[in-house]
Structure 1
Amino acid sequence: MLLSPFPFGNTNGIVDAFTVGLPGICKTGREVFERIDGAMFMRTYMPGWMVADTVEEYVEAAVRLANNHEERESLRSYMLEKNVVQRFFEGRPEVFGEMVLDLVNKQKAGHASVRTA
């Protein structure tokens, strides 16, 4: 099982673990890296209890996963059967560029109308 470190995050480790169906626990928090870990777990439809908000919840979830072989195996089977790691590679990354270009074009249009007025 994976215990994602915090507050530093473990993006690459999460991708590696999910590739081989290794369930784990992460903690969300104020640091951007912690937020990314939690978002990755949610993006792959992992149960909410696997994303802890506090250190106490993190420890509780880790103990739960460590002590429950059947639950770990069930999660592993789900992760492999559904190929959950593929969710990290879905989407439209070009949207960010499109939005920035749209803002630039709007700003240019706004400056043009000010000059002609």
Structure 2
Amino acid sequence: MPVKNIDIESEIINRVTDNGLSCADAFEIAWKLQIPACDIGAAADRLKLKLVKCQLGLFGYKPDKKIVKAEDFVSKELDDAIHKCLDDGKLLCVKSWEIAAALNLSRYSVSCACETLGIKIKECQLGAF
């Protein structure tokens, strides 16, 4: 049976803090309801909620909005994995997650490597960017 908007919105409202829904909570809801993450992002928009605490560190942090930082060193293995997945010179959010899982790294670490390499991440799975 399809999940109704009211069910999605109810799950979101139960997890809101400071008028925001964290990326991690959004994905937990998507997993629980077995729906695409972008549906959670769309519902958060309908509810006029901010998406916060991106797991890549790209948005939703105070006071500077993003926390991702360039690193001193990026391993050849990570560099190669990132470059192999580029789409028009940028890395898709979903690909950054896949790389993190494949290399047993945090998602944030992949994002920091991209920052070091001057590679932008695009197409947030929640629709934030």
> Given the two structures, how large is their TM-score scaled by the length of structure 2?
0.24
The structure with the largest helix share of the pair is 1
**Of the two, which has the highest radius of gyration?**
1
> Given the two structures, how large is their TM-score scaled by the length of structure 1?
0.26
